[in-house]
Amino acid sequence: MIAQLEMRGLQRVLWSYRSLSSSPCRCSSTSPSVVDPLAVNERTSKIPESIQIGGHTYRTDSWTNVTPRISSFVGKNIYLRKNHPLWLIKERIIAYFNWRYPGRYSPAFTVVDNLSPVVTTEQNFDSILVPADHVSRSKSDSYYVNKSHLLRAHTSAHQSDLLRSGFREFLVVGDVYRRDEINATHYPVFHQMEGVRLRYAHELRDDPDFKAIKSPAEVRSPGCQESHTEEAAAVMEKDLKGCLEGLVKSLFGQKVELRWNESFFPFTHPSWEMEVKYNNEWLELLGCGIMEQKILNNAGIHDQIGWACGIGLERIAMRLYEIPDIRLFWSEDSGFLSQFEVDNIRKLIKYKAVSQFPQCTNDVSFWIPEHFEKNDFYELVRDCGGELVEQVKIIDEFTHPKSGRKSLCYRIIYRHMEKTLTKDKANSIHKNIEKIAVDKLGVQIR
Ligand code: FA5
Ligand code: MG
């Protein structure tokens, strides 16, 4: 079991689906919004035979784990709402790409921002070479609609379709869904912007003999795929990193502290992640790399080489506007939204907390059963506590020396964004979480 858990941990690091060095200091104040999570208790209701998401009906099966709360985010499209902070960031990135790659008659990059977040497992995983046994495919990491469909876990899910449709340079913007940890910079629904750029050899160097693709392929090295020439890979890396460094400097200023880390994605090689300094800590903004040639070949493209990147929009907005908590992006409060009503997308905005409300902190310790999944508990807390849950963290792990039984102690921090949350109300949610954890996850409260 431990080996299995360690393996999962290792795969996570390699996949880099999570940001590992990205927890900026918490600010004590947040503000506006949201629903009463006590109104529904989804865990206790049975999964219906079919569910409606974004106006479509899907049959459910044993894979279904998307909850009504999560599917209620589909179609909100906050990134398309004029002057929403995510819209501002989206527009700034598009403007930057149009400036950097002007195109002959119209901007080189096509913007695709209206694709449904319900995708097939083929799109989200197979089409971009995610192995069959990869951890990101598990029910504990993704939100499945049923065995064949899920809420996209990244905008990379659309790479292959768009390549097949003939696009060579494109930006895809959309909401993505992950069963993830809960803290100020992670949320189960967030937004990404995917960038893809293909190049012919003659576009890389003004030399008729210059080659980008090797035929036959040779051996893969840490810095280059087997079918790419090292020269072409180096030109692509320079263009990719130059583009993304330029983007970050255009947003945060020339003096921004940034660093590149080597990374791993099944769909790129080599791969990198970029981090910027935020509140004295490194915050991961994006992942990128040289596209696996097989993805291009499968889409019928044999004579071009490409790079791709996936940028987290919330992270950029948080860093740029000093928004302290990722939950705020879902706020409908005019005190929040009105701060972004600007005529010029480049206007410098510094978010001011509308008001301050105290936190309520409650701990829960329990013995866990053998196949306990930490993400199942996060999910349960999210379902029961909704927007009132600010953070969930493990503060103690214990293994009984004789019985070998394991126990975990979680600290759950509650805070209402619009008013003071009474201790009674926090206690009642907390009790509910304990009860449902016992009923549904088989834990034993200590
Ligand atoms: C990916 O999702 C890759 N698809 C990115 C990519 C695209 C790599 C194309 C190569 C080529 P990652 O899981 O690291 O990678 O997520 C990308 C970015 O999304 C992160 O850098 C971060 O900015 C943001 N992000 C990831 N998880 C969350 C979360 N739970 N909440 C908010 N933002 C997140
Ligand atoms: Mg990452």
Q: How far apart are CA 340 and CA 83, in angstroms?
A: 6
Among residues 288, 306, 310, which one has the least CA distance to residue 297?
306
Residue 151, H or E segment: strand 149-151
Burial class (CB in 10 A: 0-12, 13-18, 19+), 45: exposed
CB 289 near ligand 1, within 6 Å: yes
Burial class (CB in 10 A: 0-12, 13-18, 19+), 397: exposed
Tell me the HSE value of 181 on the side-chain side, using a 13 A CA sphere: 15
Q: Are 362 and 430 in contact (CB under 8 A)?
A: yes
CB 284 near ligand 1, within 6 Å: yes
Alpha carbon of 45 to those of 172, 202, 249, 440: distances in Å? 36, 60, 49, 11
pLDDT of residue 355: 57
Structure tokens at 395: 């503060």
Partner residues linked to 277 by β-bridges = 282
Q: Residue 153 CA: which ligand 1 atom is closest? A: 2
**Peptide linkage before 216 cis (omega within 30 of 0):** yes
Which residue's CA lies nearest to atom 12 of ligand 1? 17
User: Can you give the pTM of this predicted structure?
Assistant: 0.78
Which residue's CA lies nearest to atom 31 of ligand 1? 186
Q: How far apart are CA 266 and CA 134, in angstroms?
A: 10
Alpha carbon of 130 to those of 17, 154, 188: distances in Å? 12, 12, 21
pLDDT of residue 33: 36
Alpha carbon of 377 to those of 181, 241, 394: distances in Å? 10, 38, 11
For the cut 90, the answer to whether the pLDDT of residue 4 exceeds it is no
Alpha carbon of 385 to those of 139, 341, 430: distances in Å? 21, 31, 8
Instruction: Point out the least confidently predicted range of 34-38, 113-117, 209-213, 418-422.
Output: 34-38
Q: How far is the CA of 430 from the centre of ligand 2 (A)?
A: 31
Cβ partners under 8 Å of residue 361, min gap 6: 411, 412, 413, 414
Residue 354: pLDDT band by 50, 70, 90 thresholds? low
Structure tokens at 442: 């088989």
Which residue's CA lies nearest to atom 22 of ligand 1? 312
Instruction: Point out the least confidently predicted range of 4-13, 133-142, 284-293.
Output: 4-13
Q: Are 235 and 305 in contact (CB under 8 A)?
A: no
Q: How far apart are CA 124 and CA 111, in angstroms?
A: 19
What CATH homologous superfamily does 50-340 map to?
Answer: Bira Bifunctional Protein; Domain 2 (3.30.930.10)
Residue 14, H or E segment: helix 2-15
Cβ partners under 8 Å of residue 162, min gap 6: 112, 170, 172, 196
Give CB contacts under 8 A, 24+ apart, made by 200-208: 200/303, 200/304, 201/232, 201/303, 201/305, 204/232, 204/235, 204/236, 204/305, 205/231, 205/235
Tell me the HSE value of 288 on the side-chain side, using a 13 A CA sphere: 29
CB 199 near ligand 1, within 6 Å: no
Domain with CATH 3.30.70.380 in the chain: 360-445
Interval 257-271: pLDDT, tens: 999 999 999 999 999
Domain with CATH 3.30.930.10 in the chain: 50-340
Q: How far apart are CA 169 and CA 104, in angstroms?
A: 13
Strands (E), 178-303: 189-200, 258-265, 268-278, 281-291
CB 309 near ligand 1, within 6 Å: yes
**pLDDT (average), residues 47-63:** 94
CATH of domain 360-445: 3.30.70.380
Interval 168-227: pLDDT, tens: 999 999 999 999 888 888 899 999 999 999 999 999 999 999 999 998 999 999 999 999
Structure tokens at 410: 């979680």
Among residues 301, 307, 108, which one has the least CA distance to residue 196?
307
Which residue's CA lies nearest to atom 21 of ligand 1? 286
Q: Are 247 and 93 in contact (CB under 8 A)?
A: yes
Question: Per mean pLDDT, which of 29-33, 85-89, 215-219, 417-421 is the most reliable?
Answer: 85-89
In degrees rounded to 5, what are phi and psi of residue 161?
Answer: -60, -40
CB 252 near ligand 1, within 6 Å: no
Interval 373-398: pLDDT, tens: 999 999 999 999 998 988 888 999 99
User: Regarding predicted confidence, which is higher, 12 or 364?
Assistant: 364
Q: How far is the CA of 432 from the centre of ligand 1 (A)?
A: 33
